[in-house]
Amino acid sequence: MNKSFLFDDASSLVAIVPAAGVGKRMKSNCPKQYLRLLNKTVLEHTVDKLLAHQRITKVIIALGEHDDYFAQTTLANHQQVTTVIGGQERVDSVLAALKTIEQPQNTWVLVHDAARPCLRLSDLNKLISYCSKTHHGALLATPVRDTMKRAQKNTTKVAFTENRENLWHALTPQMYPAAQLIEAIETALANGEIITDESSAIEIMGATSCLVEGSSDNIKITRPDDLALAEFILHKQYKQQEK
């Protein structure tokens, strides 16, 4: 299925940020999206980066059912931010946010990880521009540069070396027509398919999903060391903006 969806000046562009996870690998007392980074929470940096683009009219944040942190952020009273209760898995949170969109047939969505605060505006521009020109969904990604090893099942022994040709690291945002993404996710879930990101749902559907090369500093904060790296990257980005 390769139905085309126009993305033009009449199209709405909404960002979805799944933020219902607890981030156990961070080993912190609060979810990683609420850790402090340069005087703001990780989530505030992430949403601010999205709202810096003039085409994004709204950000929908999917929160955990018992989230006690969001109300304390500057986002709680932001006119361009709305919230929804997310689900157990990332895909459940994304679908819950998608279902709140009033006109999905005329809307495109950018799904972006809450723990990726280092998104560059130039990469966001590149992704949106690509989808605007091709009318196909796409995601930011980086080509695999390292040698990739496949381990034997349930061991650390090397089974073989993967051919890294044509391999990419999937990043976010991932941008698709809202109606198409809703259909793709609902169909995949009904068929018991495993959905790891929005692109995987589109792929299962048989629709077109393209790769747009982004910056490698668009890191996802997953482990404690990532917080210091993100702070370094953000500090550098903000310094460049001041020049």
Give the Å distances, CA to CA, from 89 to 84, 112, 158: 14, 15, 30
Residue % of the chain over a pLDDT of 70: 95
For residues 12-51, b (16+ Cβ closer than 10 Å) or e, as one string?
bbbbbbbbbbebeebeeeebbbbbebeebbbbbbbbbbbb
Considering the domain 12-242, what is its CATH architecture? Alpha-Beta Complex (3.90)
pLDDT digits (tens, 9 = 90+) for 91-112: 999 999 999 999 999 999 999 9
| pLDDT tier at 1, thresholds 50, 70, 90 | very low
Q: How many residues are given for the chain? A: 243
pLDDT above 90: residue 47:
yes
Residue with tokens 């299925």: 1
* Domain ranges (residues) in the chain: 12-242
What's residue 9's pLDDT?
A: 82
